[in-house]
A = this chain, B = another copy of it.
Amino acid sequence: MISTEKFYFYCGMFRTIKNLLALFTGSPPAASRTDLPETLKLIFSRRSCRSFASGDISPEDIEAILDAGRFAPSTVNLQTWSFITFDRPQWQQTFERPIPFKGAYAVVICADQNRLSELFSDFAETPAINMSFAIFNAGIAAMNMNLAAEALGIQSIMLSETGRTGLLDTAFLVEKLGLPEGVLPLTTLVLGRSTLKLPGIPPRQPRAAVVMPQRYQPECKDMLRDWFDQMFIGFKIGHPLSNFDKQLAFYRKKMLEAEQTVRRYFGR
Chain A residues in the interface with B (C-beta under 8 A):
28-31, 33, 36-40, 42-44, 46, 48, 60, 63-64, 66-73, 75-77, 79, 81-86, 90, 93-94, 111, 114-120, 122-123, 125-129, 131-133, 135-144, 146-148, 150-152, 158, 160, 167-168, 177-180, 183-184, 186-187, 201-205, 207, 209-216, 218, 220-221, 224, 228, 231, 248, 252, 255-256, 258-259, 262-263, 265-268
Contacts and interface: CB of A to CB of B under 8 A. Distances in A.
A13 to B, nearest CB: 22
12 contacts: A28-B68, A29-B67, A31-B67, A36-B64, A39-B42, A43-B147, A44-B71, A116-B224, A123-B252, A125-B259, A128-B263, A135-B139
**Copies of this chain in its oligomeric complex:** 2
B215 A84 contact: yes
Cβ-closest 7 pairs across A and B: A139-B139, A39-B151, A30-B64, A143-B143, A28-B67, A266-B266, A128-B263
Contacts of A179: 216
Contact of A211 (B83, B90, B131): B83
A150 B75 CA distance: 19
Contact of A39 (B73, B138, B142, B148): B148
A223 to B, nearest CB: 9
A108 to B, nearest CB: 9
A259 B39 CA distance: 38
